[in-house]
A and B are shown apart, each in its own frame.
Chain A
Amino acid sequence: MTVKELPQAITPNASFRKKVEEMSEEKVSACYQCEKCTNGCPLAFAMDIAPHKVIRSVHLGLKDTVLNSDTIWVCASCETCTTRCPNGIDIAHIMDTLRQIAQREGVKASQRNVPIFHDVFLSSMRRFGRVHEASMAVTYSLKSGGIKGLLGQAGMGLGMFKKGKVKILPSRFRANKRVRDIFRATERKG
């Protein structure tokens, strides 16, 4: 990870900020760059653009810089920034909005495995109505690292199994259709 310098001379473009504000219903423009979000962020050390700079970049319309950043995928949604922002900006939610825009516009995620994890997690939810941990972990390992990835996680899986912590079969219950309907109803409108 290298820290990205933001460009020095730019022509601000408000359309990206407006889009982010509209989607998130958050007032990004209320930020006065106090850096409290960055100072409290437990993952700032692993980010290429610090959280307050992400917000500033949205102000300035630096769309590509933000959507290609490590930051939006390294953020763990712990909500420390949101809790502490003196202007009441839900910064963790802005990170969600940026990830959603990136995915919708087909921007290749700088952290390849993070969206793979979320996809696999959501597929499990959609299929069974509840997340089935064991099959989810196996699918994730295969998709992210192939056979090698699967073997890498096998030790941990076996350990869990021996301790009686692996639920072999997914739950069977009536409501999983309800979950599929929700996926269908929300996916196109986003």
Chain B
Amino acid sequence: MSPKTLYDKIWDAHVAHEAEDGTCLLYIDRHLVHEVTSPQAFEGLRLAGRKVHAPDKTIAVPDHNVPTTPGRDNPDQMPEDSRIQVAALDTNAREFGVHYYPVNDVRQGIVHIVGPEQGWTLPGMTVVCGDSHTATHGAFGALAHGIGTSEVEHVLATQTLIQKKSKNMKVEITGKLSPGVTAKDIVLTIIGETGTGGGTGYVIEYCGEAIRDLSMEGRMTICNMAIEGGARAGLIAPDETTYAYVNGRPHAPKGAQWEAALAWWKTLYSDDDAHFDKVLTIRGEDIAPTVTWGTSPEDALPITATVPAPEDFTGGKVEAAKRALDYMGLTPGMKLTDIEIDTVFIGSCTNGRIEDLRAAAEVLKGKKVKDGMRAMVVPGSGLVRAQAEEEGLAEIFTEAGFEWRLAGCSMCLAMNPDQLSEGERCASTSNRNFEGRQGFKGRTHLVSPAMAAAAAVTGKLTDIRELQ
């Protein structure tokens, strides 16, 4: 048998039908649903008189619109359009009989945090959601990617997707990371190398010692941003770290089924001679704490660098860089560490897990945010929030001057009231620094949780390694 990549193996195990031209029906094991990209899909089912094919494999949770302030069970807290959208999910979830975590359930949170937390996401699965950051679940060795609303309806109705296979790409991070360098810095560095289109047409498998050494939380941060490099999905082969995380979660297999599952999961790795169409290797030792300066995640540089000039680029990127510098209000040549910020956002499906909050709290212990700084922590789920309170992290945040919020997507995409105002500049642990992403004319610098905490204290983008 010819050697296979991890992607090949998961793909092959899920092809329900293959046409002569290679178009496949790929079977979907888990379908995650949120309120923004699903109402039109459920309405489509209703109009056609169709049911949800596999309600047991469908999990719904509101996250994008929901307020993160206390008292939010009262729907009057939401603007009317948000309220209608959340109410539509409520109705659709109950009417079509899918698993559901409503806003007042402690298990509610960002869909990509809830899935793994509840053990819905398991190695070797296919996982989709009407959200590009579905790539997160690839951290478990699950083939996971975002889909549009028409495809949400297709999966609801048939439990399959019409797909053609992507190409295989390998990104290897060798060796050890230096102190102060995290999963976020790895993935920003990768996107800085490949560009936001570098992964288009590929599924990326992340491997190498530095990836193996990461916790599940760190691996989720890496795979979460696979989409920012253009890849359909990111994957990390499951190992003991994965099994330990999964074991005992509410929807993980138990007893004999656990043993059977484990036996299959242990076959999920790329064979030695498997073919990759593209390979990128980065030395872990070469990665520094990394920040973005522009309006694309590919605008990533080590914190020790200076703001680039348009002439540093070629092709269409010259104009894009000019536009980005103007939007961001930055001058070429200035040190990144001289960039003053007024807002800090810690949260999102990229960095809203317990380990992220621990890393930020570690920096903030005994310190205060700079005067006038608006700083907020939005845990990724109600359970992350509860755990952080139990560990005393919430107290560290509030004593430092952070707002301690309820779970949701919040300022990552600013669909709820958590937004930047015009000209405000934010150090954010989220995933996109696009124009207007966190609010009209708001300015975003993507950073790790520790770097966000450091920036909150100093009022500038800060090299975490230099903070005393």
A pairs with B = no
